[in-house]
């Protein structure tokens, strides 16, 4: 059983790294991009989609009980991946 | 259009003739790749749901799926935008005095070079392949007398028209350069050199 909270921590770490990459990308766009409507619209769309995904995920995660644990593979999958299912085969 | 006063060493009376980017069609393969990548989390969900209907019965597994797929989408979206920036920030500007080549290489690489039109020795436009011919985009090679490396306009729209206009501008710039009391540039008057379009057989 792996605590579910560990996955949330990993997600937040990846999101932090993502934020740095997004800032660097936007910095490049602002510094070198020409001040045209296309530049503004595309940058705005880029930010809006990111915000929508992060806020949407955040809203979903706010309703999750993070104290529980998780078995990554169900029994059926364990049998499938590790060959245990062969015992159940009858000729 | 771009305000030329923002460019380095802009001259009085300098006019913007062409402001060129790669043709929009070069973004299509990137968009297709993005759509394929974007469908992967949905495909994984559908596959698990079909093969193991009870897999997402435990809400923890669905939470894990949302964690993974949301992060996957965010990085895929960033990848798409960085490719768009790479396309958007590759610019070729032709004025009545010079050609400016600005190229973005990835996120942190940027090259800017400039070429005076009176130094242009040879202009070649090239449209290769069925897609390039249909959408009328291709490559222009510009050779100067002094430099061994050529200026290359990559995947620009209407390359034959642009090449002809650059030749005209180069001839005008050469006359102007000599009129201003400078040594004549050691380049003959240019004529059009256009590679006829070819269709790909394979």
Secondary structure (DSSP) of B28-77? HHHHHHHHHHHHHHHHHHHHHHHH-TTGGGSHHHHHHHHHHHHHHHHHHH
> Is the residue at A83 inside a domain?
no
Q: How many domains does chain A have?
A: 1
Rounded mean pLDDT of B170-198?
68
User: Residue B195 — pLDDT band, cuts 50, 70, 90?
Assistant: low
> Is the residue at B8 inside a domain?
no
Interface contact flag, A69 B58, Cβ < 8 Å: no
Q: In chain A, which residues have their Cβ closer than 8 Å to the Cβ of B102?
A: 32
> Is the residue at A18 inside a domain?
no
Q: What are the angstrom distances between the C-alpha of A72 and each of B49, B61, B68?
A: 15, 7, 13
Range of the domain at A50: 36-61
Q: What is the mean pLDDT of each run of 10 residues along chain A (91 residues)?
A: 89 96 90 79 94 95 87 59 46 38
pLDDT in tens, B125-164: 999 999 999 999 999 999 887 656 568 889 999 999 999 9
- Shared domain for B140 and B52, answered yes or no, is no
Structure tokens of B80? 């798409």
- Shared domain for B117 and B174, answered yes or no, is yes
> Is the residue at B38 inside a domain?
yes
pTM of the model: 0.77
- Shared domain for B193 and B109, answered yes or no, is yes
Question: Looking at residue A11, what is its pLDDT?
Answer: 95
> Is the residue at B112 inside a domain?
yes
Q: How many domains does chain B have?
A: 2
> Is the residue at B192 inside a domain?
yes
- In this structure, what CATH number is given to the domain that contains residue B146? 2.30.29
> Is the residue at A77 inside a domain?
no
Question: Looking at residue B97, what is its pLDDT?
Answer: 87
Q: Is A9 on the interface with B (CB under 8 A)?
A: no
> Is the residue at B22 inside a domain?
no
ipTM exceeding 0.95? no
- Shared domain for B105 and B192, answered yes or no, is yes
Contact predicate B18/B92, CB 8 Å: yes
Q: Among B52, B61, B64, whose Cβ lies nearest the Cβ of A76? A: B52
> Is the residue at A25 inside a domain?
no
Q: In chain B, which residues have their Cβ closer than 8 Å to the Cβ of A49?
A: 77
- Shared domain for B167 and B75, answered yes or no, is no
Q: Is the dihedral of CA B80, B85, B88, B94 positive or negative?
A: negative
- Shared domain for B98 and B194, answered yes or no, is yes
Interface contact flag, A25 B59, Cβ < 8 Å: no
Interface contact flag, A7 B67, Cβ < 8 Å: yes
Element (H, E) at A13: helix A4-32
> Is the residue at B1 inside a domain?
no
Interface contact flag, A53 B85, Cβ < 8 Å: no
The side-by-side arrangement of strands in the sheet containing B120-128 is: B151-157, B137-144, B120-128, B193-198
Range of the domain at B36: 28-86
pLDDT in tens, B28-79: 999 999 999 999 999 999 998 898 888 888 888 889 999 999 999 999 999 9
Q: In chain B, which residues have their Cβ closer than 8 Å to the Cβ of A74?
A: 52, 54-55, 58
pLDDT in tens, B72-101: 999 999 999 999 999 998 899 999 888 988
- Shared domain for B75 and B130, answered yes or no, is no
> Is the residue at A84 inside a domain?
no
- Shared domain for B82 and B100, answered yes or no, is no
């Amino acid at each position: 059983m792996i605590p579910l909270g560990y996955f949330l921590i990993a997600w937040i770490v990846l999101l932090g790294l993502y934020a740095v990459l997004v800032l660097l990308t936007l910095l490049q766009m602002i510094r070198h991009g020409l001040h045209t409507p296309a530049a503004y619209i595309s940058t705005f769309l880029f930010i809006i989609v990111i915000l929508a995904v992060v806020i949407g995920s955040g809203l979903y995660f706010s309703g999750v009980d993070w104290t529980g644990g998780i078995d990554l593979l169900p029994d059926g999958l364990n049998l499938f991946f590790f060959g245990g299912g062969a015992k159940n085969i009858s000729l | 259009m771009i305000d030329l006063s923002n460019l380095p060493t802009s001259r009085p009376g300098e006019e913007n003739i062409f402001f060129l980017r790669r043709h929009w069609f070069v973004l299509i393969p990137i968009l297709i790749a993005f759509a394929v990548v974007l469908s992967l989390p949905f495909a994984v969900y559908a596959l698990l749901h079909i093969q193991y209907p009870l897999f997402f019965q435990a809400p923890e597994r669905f939470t894990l799926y949302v964690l993974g797929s949301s992060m996957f989408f965010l990085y895929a979206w960033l990848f798409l935008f960085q490719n768009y920036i790479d396309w958007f920030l590759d610019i070729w500007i032709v004025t009545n005095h010079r050609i400016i080549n600005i190229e973005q290489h990835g996120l942190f690489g940027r090259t800017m070079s400039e070429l005076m039109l009176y130094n242009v020795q040879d202009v070649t436009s090239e449209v290769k392949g069925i897609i390039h011919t249909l959408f009328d985009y291709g490559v222009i090679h510009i050779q100067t007398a002094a430099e061994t490396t050529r200026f290359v306009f990559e995947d620009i729209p209407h390359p034959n028209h642009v090449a002809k206009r650059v030749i005209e501008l180069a001839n005008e710039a050469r006359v102007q350069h000599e009129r201003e009391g400078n040594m004549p540039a050691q380049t003959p008057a240019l004529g059009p050199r256009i590679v006829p379009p070819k269709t790909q057989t394979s």
